[in-house]
Structures are given as C-alpha cells and as structure tokens.
Structure 1
Amino acid sequence: MRTLAELIELWYQHHGCNLRSAADTLRRLLAMAEAMGNPVADRFSAEDFAKYRAQRLESGVTANNMNREHAYLRSVFNELKRLGLWKKENPLAMVRQFKIPEKELSWLTVDQIQTLLAELENCRNKDALLVAKICLSTGARWGEAEGLRKSQLRNQSLQFTGTKSGKNRTVPVAEGLYDELKAKDVGSTDRLFQYCWGAFRDAVERCGLVLPDGQMTHVLRHTFASHFVMNGGNILVLQKILGHQSLTMTIRYAHLAPDHLQEAKFLNPLANI
C-alpha cells in the first residue's frame, strides 16, 4: 500500500541521494506525485501519467520539460526494479516521449565575436571578457569557465571539473590566454573569477545580438564547436573537447564541415553519364 511519494523516497534513500542534483530531483519527483494525487504506487498506471502530462501541457509546460519529467519518474521504477524493491513492470516503460524538433544552434561570426569582445573590454567587470575568451577557446560552458580555480591551470591547459557529465576534461589553450590567466591576481582565494554573467548579458544587449532563448552564454560553446568544424576539425576530437557522452550530440555540427556530404556530387548515378 505504499504511495508513489513513498516509493520515490525509497528510491532516493537507495540511489537518488548519490546523484549530482539529488535534492532538486527529489523535489521535482515529489511535486509530480502530489500533482497526480499521490496514488498508491501499485495502482499507478501509464494512463495516470498521460492525464497528468496532458494537464501540464495545457498549463503551458513545454513538451521538452515533460519529457524530462517522464524520464525522471521512469528511472525511479527502473532503479527500484534493479534493486529488487519493485516487482511489477515499469508502468511508464511503454509510454513514448514527445518528439522535439531540433533547435537551430546559433553561433557567432568572426565580426560578431570581435564586436562582442570589444564591448566586453569596456565592461567594469573585467572577468566577463576572460570567461568569454575561455568559452570561445575551449567550448566550455559558462559555469565551467566562471568557476575555474588557479589550481586547474596546468601545462598550458585548463582542467574542467564538476562538469554536466560528471567527468573531468582537460583542454589545451593558446599560450597568450594561458599566461593571462596565470598572471591574474586572485588574492587569498583560489577562484579566478567573480560572478559575471550579468556583465556578459549586458554586453550582448549593447551589441544588438539577437540570440535564441536559452542560448545567452551557450552561444559561445556553439560558436567554438561551429568554427572548429568549419576550420576542418575532427568531429571525434570535438566530442572529447566538449565532453559529450554521446556522439549524437556532437554530430549536430557535422553539416558545417567544408566537405560535408560533398560525395553527393560525384557518387550519384548521373555523375558518370
């Protein structure tokens, strides 16, 4: 007679507490259970979730967010089943997620990069310029670059820790940028930068750059990856630099390669007629 919320607490006790975003994930799951009336777990069905999902979509929640909630709750049952704490089938196993149209990846041209860097040069918060340079030089996420410490500068490379994938990665940088970072005075703290997202946002607005929702700072990561591929970089090397666990994420940039699908010109049946 355990309720869905009790099952979620059981999952958290045996597995969820070890996740990077453990507390936030637990909060989301319990909120879902409450919104569905916290049914007896043994009677929770795919239909119950489908009704909940429909209500959420009507209230304005995006399909992408619903896919995320679906994945969270499905994984609860999967993990409890592995641990022998759930004997029935996963009630969400046969529920299909929504297909999400692929978003356009916005990236900056060389002229736009130069304009943005010049604007960042004029910011009172000088850290925003250096963090942007790191993102453009390594493809790092803004948070990874902003959180860098001097101890993460080694052998003309930057070591990123606490990444989204949970795996550390090391990316070489140009000598000039490395020397600039090594010379930065951090006082008694090891942290290289203050929080400077706001200064970056203001600089973007002053430049008149129009970016898709959610890509304010992420455009720097997309810009690195796009120029890397356009300049002839290897897609597998790019995967390692960006820290993507799956090549599927990296392959989104493949169409920017100079020779992308050029074989179509020469290997089609009309080419030899």
Structure 2
Amino acid sequence: MAIKKVEGGWLVDSQPAGRGGKRFRKTFKTQAEAKQHEAWLKTKVTQNSEWAPDRRDVRKLLELVDLWYQHHGSSLRAGANTYSRLKNMVAAMGNPVSDRFSVDVFTDYRTKRIEEGISLNNLNREHAYLRAVFNELITLGYWKKENPLAKLRQFKIQENELMFLSEKQIPTLLNELTASENRHAKLISKVCLSTGGRWGETESLKKSQLRNQLIQFARTKSGKVRTVPISKELAAELLAHHAPGETGDRFFASAYSAFREAIERAKIDLPKGQLTHVLRHTFASHFMMRGGNIVALQKILGHESLTMTMRYAHLAPQYFQDAVKLNPLAPSRRKLG
C-alpha cells in the first residue's frame, strides 16, 4: 500500500489482498482520511474472502489425473485403460500447470492430433475422458474452479450406415470360420449372432454365466448385467466346447484375428470400425426384419436409451407397410380427401 501527496490531496494506491488482488485508487483531502481509508481496506480483506484474490493452483495436470484414478478411476471396469490414455494425452500437452490448462491448450492438442490422422471419434472420446476427470474432481472436492472443458463442443460426426450380414453372407462366413485353425472363432460368432452380444463380452464368457439356456452377460459396456436366452442346441454346443485345461473357467480363448481373416476370405466388405460389431448389428437387424419388438430389442442389446435401438426400427416390416399406407398420396388418404 502507498499513500502519497498529489495535487489536490492525498492518494491512496492500494492492493490490500496483495499481488494479483484488486487495486484501489482514491484521493482524499487530508492525510488522516487517507490513512483511515487504507486501514479500512486492510480489514475488508481479512473479514471478506471475496476481496482476496484466487490462489493459484500450481499442481500439474498429471497430478489431477492421478487423483482421479486414485479416488474414482481405479474402480471402473476400463479404468486402467482410460488412465493410460489420459497420461499419454497429458504428456502430449506438455503437462501444464492445472490452472493454466484451458480450452486453448486442449484445442491446440486436438489440431495436432487431427494432423497426425487421428479420427474425430477418437478425439471426442479423449475430450469426454478429460472433461469427466474434472467433473469427478469437482464432485469429490479436489477441484474448486469450473470445468475448463465444460463449454467446449465435441466434433459432430456423420454416422456411417450400420452394416449387417445378409441371409446369404451368414453361412458363407460360418463356413470360413469352420475352416479356421482357431476352434473358438466360429462358436463365438454363433453366440454373437444368436444374442446380439459384443465380441469382447462373448469372448470372455465363463461357464458360470450359462444356466438353464440363459447367458448372463456381466462384463458389459454399460457395466450392467443382462440376460439373453439361447436355444437348447447352442447351450449344449457351448458346454461340449468347454475345455478347462485350455481356457480354465472361460469357454473361449482369443479369436479376433481368426475372425478378421475369415471375413477377408469370405470377401465381405465392412465399414471401418465395424469388424466384429457386424455380428451385433446383424442380430438386431434380422430381429427387427422378422417382426421383433423394438423395446424387447433394447433390453436384449442392453441399450440404456431407446434412442440407440431406434437405429434398427426402419427395418421392421410394419415400418415399410405404414410408409405405403399412410403417406399423403396413398389411395386411402385420397378417398378421405
């Protein structure tokens, strides 16, 4: 603080909260009045925290990520994988001081990643991971400021058409899987086609998850357990396939590469990112084409929102019939006119 004589009186030039705090400048007629005002400013800082400047958070960004993993991420099914990705992101951004981390820092990082050929889907995922870290730390009380990524919008992605196997392609693929040296690939595929299960959750099935012709998917994307019935024949095939000496409690060993090779031999062209997932899409698509109920499909697939399942609604026979019967130029509508 400083009080000095100026033309017209005494000037109080003060930062009562110290460097970084608000600065006050006021001129008084007498030195006594200036000193009194200076003393009042000092008391305001000690009595009212709003007058004090925000303290800098000098923790590095990696320290926040470590806190997130210690108190939350370690309990998540994919927590270790997410933690690894977050650390790589932080390193690529130069591990900035946390209160200097901003939208600008992250968008610069995204731009470089795009130039490296990283997909927008992956960048949206990384954005979601880091935003979730700050949200969780705010909930836990380890971050007192706003989420720096809260207002940053993700990239808008044009959805690819969902590919599914035709009635002709399914036996072609199964024949190629039969010829595979990997004995697990075909049966994993059959379970996916029969239940809509994802490849990963099917590949990791344990014997305890099959009871009374019901498969209980436990290691799901949503973290929720769902149960899907299967035929008596498929249940028997699974039990006969199980070899404890080879896979322990699990029915299957890894077969992803064998499936990819079978797809190539069958000359089935799939969109990027829809390799094993084509089996899940095939189940859902054929389910609807044969008159299945959209709400039942939601439960079978384990979608939290019906919006996700509605992608298959247009395949229902009634959907096409209604388009013909209920459009404004249909004969029945013209009669009404």
Task: Give yes or no for the alignment of 1:151 onto 2:205.
Answer: no
Q: Distance in 2 between matches of 1:24 and 1:144?
A: 16
Cα distance in 2 between the residues matched to 1:60 and 1:109: 33
Cα distance in 2, alignment partners of residues 263 and 210 from structure 1:
32
Partner of residue 235, structure 1: 294
Letter in 2 for 1:93: A
- What are the residue-to-residue correspondences of 1:1-273 with 2, within 5 Å? 1-188=58-245, 189-260=248-319, 262-270=321-329, 271=333, 272-273=336-337
Q: CA deviation at 1:202?
A: 2.0
Q: Which stretch shifts more, 189-198 or 234-243?
A: 189-198
The answer as to whether partners of 2:199 and 2:276 remain within 8 angstroms in 1 is: yes
Residues of 1 paired with 2:259 and 2:86: CA distance?
Answer: 34
* Structure-2 separation of matches of 1:268 and 1:191: 52
Gaps of 5+ in 1: none
Residue identity (%): 61
Q: TM-score, normalised by structure 2?
A: 0.76
Which secondary structure state, in structure 2, belongs to the residue aligned with residue 170 of structure 1?
A: strand
Q: Do the aligned residues in 1 keep the contact of 2:242 with 2:252 (CA within 8 Å)? A: no
Letter in 1 for 2:101: F
Partner Cα distance (2:196, 2:160) in 1: 19
> Is the 8 Å Cα contact of residues 242 and 250 (structure 2) preserved in structure 1?
no
Q: Deviations over 1:62-106 (max 9, x none)?
A: 111111111111111111111122111111111001100011111
- Give me the TM-score of the superposition, normalised by structure 1: 0.93
Using the TM superposition, give the Cα deviation of residue 171 of structure 1 relative to its aligned residue in structure 2, in angstroms.
0.7
Bigger mean CA offset, 165-174 vs 35-44: 35-44
Deviations 1:161-192 (A, max 9, x none): 21111112111011111122223351443222
Assess if the C-alpha contact under 8 Å between 2:207 and 2:251 holds in 1: yes
Larger deviation, residues 42-51 vs 61-70: 42-51
8 A Cα contact 2:177 2:259, kept in partner? yes
The letter of the residue matching 2:233 is G
Q: Could you tell me how far 1:264 is from its partner in structure 2?
A: 4.7
For 2:168, what is the secondary structure of its paired residue? helix
Q: Which has the higher contact order (CA 8 A, sep 6+)?
A: 1
Residue-by-residue CA offset, 1:100-125 (whole Å, 9 max, x unaligned): 00111110011110111122222333
Amino acid of the residue matched to residue 92 of structure 1? Answer: L
1:255 maps to a residue whose letter is H
2: CA distance, partners of 1:97 / 1:140: 29
CA contact (8 A) 2:73 2:83 kept: yes
Structure showing the higher strand proportion among its residues = 2
